A and B are shown apart, each in its own frame.
Chain A
């Protein structure tokens, strides 16, 4: 009986993993295939589609996406840290209400948000901001709940005994923030920042309303391209951006070590 459940468990696990990874395998194979027909024969594989990626057609959207995602990551990282600090650490008045407000964008569909932002900007005569500035602002609104939530969790887990220890050792408030609180919540902040970067880099539903024709982000460019053709270049773009995201996650993790156990201290 026990053996049966064990086998079932592994089968279910394999099925889930296959469901997640098979499409990726297909995309990778497609990007390497010589023709539009997906080939799984490695002897026929070619890298020539990847050469297309260096063209302005793909490079420009890529650079725009990276630029927007980087600004969004840093901005929402700073804002999320400040918000979580005030609401969770200092417990300013009405903290819970403010926190709910900050998290509320989560409950509005992105398409609705996108339309609302376009209408709002035109109403107040600031349609000139459409394009990069609006993209950045909208992505920050989208990413901020995630970042705030993650930083809030790591601040809530912060052992205030450490703050007292630093205080009795002569550290003033600013010194305690810099030398004790920040290093301890750094992993939470960096994982929030990573999240914000990915959310922005991959976003379609909001961006589609806010980009200016001819100056679009990578996912929007992909969508537009798909309307006219489905060829291995598409697959190559997707594989390349997947590799880029993985590299970004890896880099952030190297900096922050957010999967490392730094809380093993005195317990």
Chain B
């Protein structure tokens, strides 16, 4: 018995002539927290709706535990779904909302009340059972929606940007809580979001979608430190994306020019073909060298002019002009501010060769 919970096999979806999702294949193992991450209009919600059964794929197959779902209506898929706007039933109490799934499945009164109590305890809303949704705050409604979705113990829980209507503090607290709930239930979570921080914070695996296709798939660390395309590098975190030219292979390095030939950089990454025309350097990978400090063996060393310093609280972001009209951004801990020269003065930077990533497209 395989432990793949959800499988998408070459799934495509068009609405009329408009293609929305194009040839997506994906395997989600049991118990994994997977985020589908992408900007609005990338097809992530359509993908979620196809897993839930609200949209049928135009092509391809969707399987849950090996069984094709294409002909199975949503009500018989045994999937939980947390909606972006919660979609709580306004005419039912919290307990009735949470017990709805079991009631529809014909569970007994005592089973329902037990499951409702468990689910409400799980989201820290004991004692709220007799309230109506309109009497709750946004965060509490969010928890009720979550409790309602997990009370029938679905095999898979889908979450459609569930935190986007909450304020920042609550959102951050809920991230941790969601992850804890997922781990304690051992349930497969598929989480759709456009918020890369949310995806990074909770996921075992992130699927980055762009223009209806999967741009990259991997662990949060992998996606962050080894983005494959300029879209992913740009969308996840902050990065300096620079066009490359005049590539020369000097094993173990790839040596190339940036800024119209004004500077050369080297990378330890393998060059895989013509469509690699950009490199990406994360701001935190650019080290500011103090007076007299030398760059490590094999690292790139650059000199530039300190153009601007932006205080981000825990960090400072430096904008350094390394060639005419080419600014790179570098971050350093705020505590090291004393070592910086005044604006307009020369600074030296070092970038390890393995931190220079090559991007496709």
B74 within 8 A of A: yes
Name B52's contact: one of A168, A170, A262 (CB within 8 Å). Answer: A168
Shortest Cβ distance from A169 into B: residue: B101
CB distance B88 to A170 under 8 Å?
no
Among residues of A, the one whose C-beta sits closest to the C-beta of B91 is A183
At the interface with chain B, which of A60-68, A133-141, A158-166? A158-166
Contact B100 A169 (CB under 8 A): yes
Which residue of the partner chain, among B52, B80, B90, B104, contacts A265 with CB atoms under 8 Å?
B90
Q: Are A164 and B105 in contact (CB under 8 A)?
A: no
Residues of B within 8 A of A184 (CB): 90-91
Given contacts A168-B79, A175-B104, contact A180 B90 (CB under 8 A): no
Is B278 positioned at the interface, with any CB of A under 8 Å from its CB? no
Assess whether B256 is interfacial by the CB under 8 Å rule: no
Kindly list chain B residues whose C-beta atoms are within 8 Å of the C-beta of A265.
88-90, 132-134
Cβ-defined contact, A167 with B91, below 8 A: no
Chain A residues lying within 8 Å of B149, measured Cβ to Cβ, are 169
How distant is A18 from chain B, measured CB to nearest CB, in Å? Answer: 39
Q: Tell whether, in the assembled complex, residue A169 and residue B87 are in contact, meaning their CB atoms are under 8 Å apart.
A: no
Contacts of A159 in B (CB 8 A): 87
Tell me the complex Cα distance, A164–B86, Å.
11
Q: Is A266 touching B133 in the complex (CB atoms < 8 A)?
A: yes
B141 at the interface (CB under 8 A from A): yes
* A166, B80: Cα distance in complex, Å: 11
CA distance A32 to B90 in the complex (A): 48
Give per-residue flags for A144-188: 1 if the beta carbon is below 8 A from chain B beta carbons, else 0: 000000000000000101101111111110010001100110000
Q: Is B303 close to A, CB under 8 A?
A: no
Contact B100 A266 (CB under 8 A): no
Q: How many angstroms between the C-alpha atoms of A129 and B317 in the bound complex? A: 89
Report if A171-B75 is in contact (Cβ < 8 Å); known contacts: A264-B134, A266-B133. Answer: yes
Interface residues of B in 67-95 (CB under 8 A from A): 73-81, 83, 85-91
Kindly provide the distance from the CB of A258 to the nearest chain B CB, expressed in whole angstroms: 13
In the complex, what distance in Å separates the CA atom of A267 from the CA atom of B141? 10
B100 touches A161 (CB 8 A): no
Separation of A80 and B100 alpha carbons in the complex (Å):
29
Q: Which of B81, B90, B105 contacts A266 (CB 8 A)?
A: B90
Q: When the two chains form their complex, are residues B90 and A161 in contact, meaning their CB atoms are under 8 A apart?
A: no
Contact B89 A161 (CB under 8 A): no
A3 at the interface (CB under 8 A from B): no
Check: B227 CB closer than 8 A to any chain A CB. Answer: no
Within 8 A of A (CB), among B115-144: 132-134, 141
CB of A184, distance to nearest CB on chain B (Å): 6
Q: How far is the CB of A115 from chain B (nearest CB, A)?
A: 46
Q: A168-B80, A264-B134 are in contact. Are A161 and B87 (CB under 8 A)?
A: yes
Q: Using Cβ atoms and an 8 Å threshold, which residues of chain A touch B78?
A: 170
Shortest A19–chain B CB gap in Å is 39
CB pair A168–B74 under 8 Å, yes or no, is: yes
Q: Knowing A161-B83, A175-B104 are in contact, say whether A167-B88 is a contact too (CB < 8 A).
A: no
Q: Which of A165, A179, A267 contacts B83 (CB 8 A)?
A: A165
Closest CB of chain A to B52's CB: distance in Å?
Answer: 6
Q: Is the CB of A165 within 8 A of B89?
A: yes
The minimal Cβ–Cβ distance linking B104 to chain A, given in whole angstroms, is 4
Shortest CB-to-CB span from A264 to chain B, Å, is: 4
Residues on the A chain within 8 Å of B74, using CB: 164, 167-168
A168 touches B75 (CB 8 A): yes
Q: Which residues of B contact A262 (CB under 8 A)?
A: 90-91
Hey, which chain A residues are within 8 Å of B53, CB to CB? 168
B100 touching A263, Cβ below 8 Å: no
Identify A165's interface contact among B73, B76, B87, B134, CB under 8 A. B87
Taken together as a complex, chains A and B put the C-alpha atoms of A170 and B52 apart, in Å, by: 12
Which residues 229-267 of A have a CB within 8 angstroms of B? Answer: 262-267
Q: How far is the CA of A166 from the CA of B102 in the complex (A)?
A: 11
Q: Within 8 Å of chain A (Cβ to Cβ): is B228?
A: no
Query: Which B residues lie within 8 Å of A266 (CB)?
Result: 85-88, 90, 133-134, 141
Complex: A266 Cα to B134 Cα, angstroms:
6
Max chain B C-beta neighbours (<10 A), residue from A161, A162, A166, A167: A167
A107 to B87, CA, bound (A): 40
In the complex, what distance in Å separates the CA atom of A165 from the CA atom of B87?
Answer: 6
Q: Are B104 and A170 in contact (CB under 8 A)?
A: yes
Residues A171 and B141 in contact, CB atoms below 8 Å apart: no
- List, in ascending order, chain A residues with CB within 8 A of B91's CB: 183-184, 262
Q: Which residues of A contact B85 (CB under 8 A)?
A: 161, 266-267
- Residues of chain B lying within 8 A (CB to CB) of residue A161: 83, 85, 87
Q: How long is the Cα–Cα vector from A170 to B81 in the complex, in angstroms?
A: 11
Using Cβ atoms and an 8 Å threshold, which residues of chain B touch A164? 54, 74, 81, 83, 87
Distance between Cα atoms of A266 and B80 in the complex (Å) = 18
Considering the complex, give the chain A residue whose CB is closest to the CB of B80. Answer: A168
Q: List 6 A-B contacts (CB under 8 A).
A: A164-B54, A166-B100, A167-B75, A170-B76, A171-B104, A265-B88
The 3 closest A-B pairs by CB, nearest first: A265-B90, A169-B101, A264-B134
What residues of chain A have their CB less than 8 Å away from a CB belonging to chain B? 159, 161-162, 164-172, 175, 179-180, 183-184, 262-267
Task: Give 17 new A-B contacts, CB below 8 A, not counting A169-B101, A170-B75, A265-B90.
Answer: A159-B87, A164-B54, A164-B81, A164-B83, A165-B81, A168-B52, A168-B53, A168-B74, A168-B77, A168-B81, A170-B152, A172-B104, A179-B104, A183-B91, A184-B90, A264-B134, A267-B85
